[in-house]
Each structure stands twice: as structure tokens, then as C-alpha cells.
Homo-oligomer: A and B are copies of this chain.
Amino acid sequence: MSKIDLRPALSKMQPYTPGEQPPPGKYIKLNTNENPYPPPPSVVSALQAAASGPLNRYPDPTATAFRRAAANALGLPGPEWILAGNGSDEILTILVRAFVGEGQLLRLPYPSYILYRTLADIQGARWEQMPFLDGWHLPTAFGQGSDDLRLVLLPNPNSPSGTIVSRDEIEKLANTLPCPLVVDEAYADFAEFNCIDLVQKHENILVTRTLSKSYGLAGVRFGFLVAQPQLIKKLCNIKDSYNCDYLATIAATEAMNAQDWLADVVKKMNATRARMQLRLSELGFNVTPSQANFVWCQHPSGKHNEMYQYLKKQQILVRYMDFPDWGDGLRISVGTDDQVDACLMMLERFFQ
């Protein structure tokens, strides 16, 4: 026993490993689903002006300006439906802390976003994974309550698959579940539909969003939760008092006001995604049709790790993922056309 032993639950846990983040410029980065394009120009000029702003003063504790802009952009009744955070990672952390006590249960689908398990582990809670059915539907059991079940997390679109669960299916889950259903919509701007409006109909549907993907602001940590006002109010007491940086809040506010820019960049990236999917199929991959800014593909040769290593040697980073009892494959982010072409060319060369 040492004087600096962590809680026993923490010494046993498996830490979450995000995708590699090499120093800028060395690699074509198609491994962490960042936007390959810079953020809206209005964001950059607002930040340049804000750099000489009141940095010596604490920021607005609840990022009111951002919440107003977001409510407006997303058609929500008002800012009281939104909780802003230091990336959607912080929002997820707050939700797990709010709902899941030591020994209690958190549920997620499989294969899916492994971070959820880490958040349960840190809390000293338990987690259970339920495999997707064929066609990326969820089993009925995913919507059933059980002793100690306190939170259900569903990335939609899902990672690594890029698939999406229908609004209908999500409403049914919310109806049968005895606890909150968090719909993690990190990639929703690239999808055909989303669930933001369902929050007004179901008190236990909670939607998380991030500025890191579609808005090109992964460097500026900002994410948010959409939920009913009575819940947002309670969650405010759990977050750190000043969790949102002054500059990040300005960037995020400007980004929410740039909906035309967003529509353009999503259109461009989804066109690139279609081309990626087609070409990967031609190379013999089984490509899962994607509603996100990445493509999940598996090759009959099974040489996914070799391809990952080969691409890395050519300065191209993709994500090799191996899900025990399910399978492995490559998750390739939608880059610029040039970046994607370079990646496809190298994959072609790999098979020659």
C-alpha cells in the first residue's frame, strides 16, 4: 500500500486509447475523423479579434451566447435546452457521473465507441455490450430495463460502422427503457436525419453533439448536450463552474451561425465519401454504407493490420480496429479529395 494509491476500481481498468496524434504535417491524417477543411472564416476572424479581449476575466459559466446561437440553428425552443462543455467528451463524462453510481450498469452496443466503457470503469460502474443484429439493428433486449441499469449510450451514426439507427427504433427504445438514452450525434451532420427534435417529445432522450467533426474545430474543445430544461439545470451543478473557455465559446458561437458554410462542407465531404466507398468496393473491400465522415471497410484477405502498417510507412494514417468476437477492419476518415486519392492509390498498390 502506498500513500498515492488510486481507487481500486481505477487500478484494474483498461485506459482508453484515442487515435494517434503525430505532430502536424508529417502524415495524411485519416484516422480520427477530423474535418480536413479549416473552420468557417468567420470563426478565424472572430478569434483574431477575441485574442485581445478580456482574457483576464472568467468566461460566462454557461456560454449563453453559444446556447442562443445553437438553439436558433437547431430549431430548439431556447438556450435552456442546451448544456455546453469542453468537448462532447466532457458532456459524456458529466452524464456518466450524473446517472451511474459505483456498481451500477451502463449499456452500449457492440461494436461501438469504446470510450463509454472507460467512463463506466472510471466511475467504478459496470458496463454491458449488446451486439448489433444483422443490418445494424438493435436487439429488443437493448431497450429492456434491468436491475441497476442507469444509462444507455448509442452513437448514431455509430462508429466504427458509420451506420444509423432509425428515429422510429430510437423512440421505441426510449419508451421501453427505464433510464436516459444518450444518442451521441457526433457525426449526425453527415447523416440523412438526426434525433434532436425527439428530445422535446421524450424526457429520456438526450442528444450530444460536438464541434470537432463537421465544424472543423477539433482543436477548439467544444461540445454540447440537448436535453429537457429541468435536466440541464441539474447537470449544471455537476460541471466545473467555468468549463467553457472564452475563446472556444466565441469560436463555437460563430460556427453555429455559419450554417451555410456547414451545408457546403458536408455536401463536399459526402461526395468524397461516395467516391471512397465506390473505389474501395472496386478494390474488393466489403464497404459498410456510411452516414458519417468515415468509412468502415473489411477485405476478404483479412490483411487489415498489414494494410494499416503499409499505409503508415507511406505517411498515411488510417485506423486499424480489432473488435474481439466480431472482427477487424479499417476505419478511414473522409479527407480532402487529394488525401483520399493518395490513400486509395496506396491501397491499390498494396494489392499489386
Which residues of A are at the interface with B, using a C-beta cutoff of 8 A?
A: 2-4, 6-7, 9-10, 13, 15-16, 18, 21, 24, 29, 32, 34-39, 43-45, 47-48, 51-61, 86-87, 89-90, 93, 97-102, 115, 122, 124, 150, 177-180, 203-204, 212, 216-221, 227-228, 230-231, 234, 236-238, 240-248, 251
**Known pairs A51-B51, A221-B245, A247-B47; A29 contacts B57 (CB<8 A):** yes
Chain B hits for A7, CB < 8 A: 98-101, 150
**B53→A219 contact, CB < 8 A:** yes
In the complex, what residue of chain B is closest to A2 when comparing beta carbons?
Answer: B203
**B241→A16 contact, CB < 8 A:** yes
Pull 29 A–B residue pairs with CB atoms less than 8 Å apart, ordered by A: A2-B203, A3-B180, A3-B203, A4-B179, A4-B203, A6-B98, A6-B99, A7-B101, A7-B150, A10-B98, A10-B237, A10-B238, A13-B237, A34-B58, A35-B56, A44-B51, A45-B51, A48-B52, A55-B218, A55-B220, A56-B216, A56-B217, A56-B218, A58-B219, A102-B124, A218-B242, A220-B246, A245-B248, A247-B247
How many copies altogether?
Answer: 2
**B242→A89 contact, CB < 8 A:** yes
Decide if the interface of chain A is mainly helix, strand, loop or mixed. Answer: loop
**Known pairs A56-B39, A247-B245; A3 contacts B124 (CB<8 A):** no
Interface hub of A38, A204, A230 (most chain B Cβ within 10 A): A38
In the complex, what residue of chain B is closest to A123 when comparing beta carbons?
Answer: B97
**Known pairs A3-B180, A241-B18; A217 contacts B55 (CB<8 A):** yes
Chain B hits for A55, CB < 8 A: 38-39, 43-44, 216-220, 251
**Known pairs A3-B179, A98-B6, A122-B97; A21 contacts B58 (CB<8 A):** yes
Could you tell me the distance between the alpha carbons of A64 and B53 in the complex, rounded to whole angstroms? 26
Chain B hits for A234, CB < 8 A: 6, 10
**A86→B89 contact, CB < 8 A:** no
**A245→B231 contact, CB < 8 A:** no
Could you tell me the distance between the alpha carbons of A305 and B7 in the complex, rounded to whole angstroms? 42
Could you tell me the distance between the alpha carbons of A115 and B240 in the complex, rounded to whole angstroms? 10
Chain B hits for A98, CB < 8 A: 6-7, 10
Q: Tell me, rounded to whole Å, the shortest Cβ–Cβ distance linking A197 to chain B.
A: 18
Interface hub of A4, A7, A122, A180 (most chain B Cβ within 10 A): A4
Q: Tell me, rounded to whole Å, the shortest Cβ–Cβ distance linking A243 to chain B.
A: 7
Chain B hits for A43, CB < 8 A: 55
**Known pairs A3-B177, A56-B36, A56-B37; A247 contacts B218 (CB<8 A):** no
**A219→B245 contact, CB < 8 A:** yes
Chain B hits for A204, CB < 8 A: 3-4
Chain B hits for A102, CB < 8 A: 101-102, 124
**Known pairs A86-B243, A246-B220; A32 contacts B58 (CB<8 A):** yes
